[in-house]
Amino acid sequence: MLSNFIKEEYHKEDLGWKSVSSNFINNLELFLRYQSTFKGHIGIRNNSTVKYMRMYKTAFNYALKSGLIEKNPFDLYQGKVIETDAVYLTPTELKTIEITEITAGRLVKNQRHLHILLLYRIWQMPLLLDTRILFLTTTMISGFW
């Protein structure tokens, strides 16, 4: 997205580290929020914008530590991630997934058990009535480490 911004705003392929100013950062944030395209949508939401800006700030911190720049222009950026409530599946939805027979594709047997486990929150573990699923899944997970 950064390269798209540079092409649109500056009509260049690339900019040097020292060309980035607070004005550049403000314009980049506005571009990400309202003009960038991602998966067919124009503009990205606040949390995604903040995460991109933090990633760019990290790159500039590396440049600062490497002596490529003297000051990180992203230090003034004040974007904040807005905490959102996670949406969880209901016990009925989880049960529907459990009993659905998957016969083709990648999700077969052991992989299916792992995916079912990942859908449950910790407090929902007792809802796993079929202890074979819990046993197979914990056996698989312990084999990963």
Assign 25 a pLDDT band (cuts: 50, 70, 90).
very high
Phi-psi label, residue 46: left if phi above 0, alpha if psi -120 to 50, beta otherwise: alpha
Contact 91, 124 (CB under 8 A): yes
Supply the Cα-derived Rg of the chain in whole angstroms: 23
**pLDDT value at 40 more than 50:** yes
Determine the residue type at 122.
I
**Residue 92 confidence (pLDDT):** 84
Q: At what angle do helices 91-99 and 109-119 cross, to 10 degrees?
A: 180
Q: How far apart are CA 62 and CA 134, in angstroms?
A: 44
- List strand residue ranges (DSSP E) for 7-126, in order: 37-38, 41-42
pLDDT tens sequence across 64-103: 999 999 999 999 898 998 988 777 777 788 778 777 776 6
